[in-house]
A and B are shown apart, each in its own frame.
Chain A
Amino acid sequence: QVQLQQSGPGLVEPSQTLSLTCAISGESVATNRAGWNWIRQSPSRGLEWLGRTYYSSKWNYDYAPSVKSRLTISPDTSGNRFSLQMNSVTPEDTAVYYCTRGFLSFGFDSWGQGTLVTVSS
């Protein structure tokens, strides 16, 4: 059974960078049987898929158009984890952020516990 454990700050100042990490247990981040995604949820925007990384002969990255210019998702094979970095945040980026396992076509079958990130000074 795959388990995902999130870590990172709950408060970020406007214009700064939001950084979160998701530690994976029960599967390798470099598996070709899963992708590793970030999703956020807020009352105003609902659930929003942000992006993913997955390994298939090489590392691949896909980002939602709405955040593509500000988002970087990175795998860490030595630590078996992956991370999210979103720069130039605004209060509109305030949300609960989730890391998930799965493919876009098949759904997300494992979720991290969620991290409430508030963007405020």
Chain B
Amino acid sequence: QSALTQPPSASGSPGQSVTISCTGTSSDIGTYNSVSWYQQHPGKVPKLMISEVSKRPSGVPDRFSGSKSGNTASLTVSGLQPEDEADYYCSSYAGNNNLVFGGGTKLTVL
């Protein structure tokens, strides 16, 4: 059982927006602005899409955005494209030099 809770699946049609949630506790997401999001295509290595809740690394399309409210972080993908179909994982700093991940969400582009 992962420390952060994500819905197992999410879906949307091309061009639509979809939001994936990541729920933690006051010991991780609720205290630290250190949430990251990763995209992983089948058989591939995870790719950093969002860091520090809402920062996009260079090269990540601005269709990807992140936010946080209380103990829940969210990843929004706007203008869905077929190549966005992948697994998405959140992570958060959890204090005491420890890091926790979510269980992952499979995003399907219909």
Tell me whether B108 is interfacial, beta carbon within 8 Å.
no
The number of chain B residues with a CB under 8 A from chain A is 24
B52 pairs with A46, CB closer than 8 A: no
Tell me whether A59 is interfacial, beta carbon within 8 Å.
no
Tell me whether A82 is interfacial, beta carbon within 8 Å.
no
Tell me whether B21 is interfacial, beta carbon within 8 Å.
no
Tell me whether A11 is interfacial, beta carbon within 8 Å.
no
Which residues on the B side are within 8 Å of A108 (C-beta)?
36, 38, 46, 48
Contact with A along B35-50 (1 / 0, CB 8 A): 0101000000111101
Tell me whether B89 is interfacial, beta carbon within 8 Å.
yes
Tell me whether A114 is interfacial, beta carbon within 8 Å.
yes
A105 pairs with B45, CB closer than 8 A: no
Interface size class of A (residues with CB under 8 A): 10 to 19
A-B contact count (CB 8 A): 60
Tell me whether A2 is interfacial, beta carbon within 8 Å.
no
| Known contacts A46-B101, A62-B97, A106-B51; A111 and B34 CB within 8 A of each other | no
A107 pairs with B104, CB closer than 8 A: no
Residues of chain A in range 69-107 having any CB-CB distance to chain B below 8 Å: 98, 102, 104-107
Q: Is the contact region of chain B dominated by helix, strand, or loop, or is it mixed?
A: strand
B46 pairs with A48, CB closer than 8 A: no
Contact with B along A101-121 (1 / 0, CB 8 A): 010111111011110000000
Tell me whether B103 is interfacial, beta carbon within 8 Å.
yes
Nearest-neighbour CB distance to chain A for B101, whole angstroms, equals 4
B91 pairs with A46, CB closer than 8 A: no
Tell me whether B10 is interfacial, beta carbon within 8 Å.
no
Residue of A nearest to B94 (CB): A104
Contact with A along B69-110 (1 / 0, CB 8 A): 000000000000000000001010100011111111000000
Q: How far is B104's CA from A74's CA once the two chains are assembled, in angstroms?
A: 29
Residue of B nearest to A65 (CB): B98
A47 pairs with B48, CB closer than 8 A: no
A114 pairs with B51, CB closer than 8 A: no
A-B CB contact pairs (8 Å), 7 listed: A46-B102, A47-B46, A104-B98, A107-B50, A108-B36, A109-B48, A111-B46
